[in-house]
Amino acid sequence: MPDGRTRRLKTAAEPPDASKAMEIAVGYLGTRPRTRWETERRLRRAGATDPVIAETVERLAEIGYLDDAAFARWWGEQRDRHAPRGSRMIEAELRQHGVPREVIEAYRIDHAAPERRPEDETVPSTEAERAADALARHLRGRPLPTDRKALQRIGMFLMRRGFDPETVRSTIREAGADVP
């Protein structure tokens, strides 16, 4: 290279064995909960073979480090607490993380039941409460605009967050706007 820097070429290293794959996976799981799919993808990127990946993921599931249902609950709770989203958006995000359909179905049933939610008052427990929380965070203390165009923009903001149109309309109505 003309500027004097040298470029390192990647050398083909041998694929990680079971213990090295476990070390990679545990390090990957150390930052936040992950799904089986994410962990498999990480091990594949590290060059592990399919049998080693299957063995590692199975062992992590046995000891409780990998649980897609627990990941779905954690993801939903984080969304409710920090960046409220509608159920449709949360389910789409779970699909992007590789959560299986049956786990998402179970999550939907569990998430919809407010009596199963934590007693924490700061966490919204219903779709309407999540929408109201998202609207309040968006407005940041400012009053709700009164012109139709601004209300439409706010409605579209909430719909992009995964709330259905009826929830959006009722949330904006409850906030004090006159919505047709």
CA distance 179 to 82: 28
CATH number of 18-62: 1.10.10
pLDDT of residue 69: 95
pLDDT tens across 121-171, in order? 566 778 888 899 999 989 888 888 888 999 999 999 999 999 999 999 999
Length of the chain: 180
More confident residue, 133 or 112: 133
Mean pLDDT of 3-30: 80
CA distances from 1 to 4, 6, 8 (A): 6, 7, 12
pLDDT tens across 72-92, in order? 999 988 988 888 888 889 999
pLDDT of residue 178: 58
pLDDT of residue 80: 83
Task: Tell me phi and psi for residue 116, to 5 degrees.
Answer: -90, -5
Residue 161 tokens read as 């967050």
127-174 CATH pick, 1.10.3470, 2.40.128, 1.10.10, 2.60.60: 1.10.10
CA distance 160 to 152: 12
pLDDT of residue 52: 96
Do domains 18-62 and 127-174 share one topology? The answer is: yes
Average pLDDT score over the chain = 86
Sketch the domain layout of the chain as residue ranges: 18-62, 68-116, 127-174
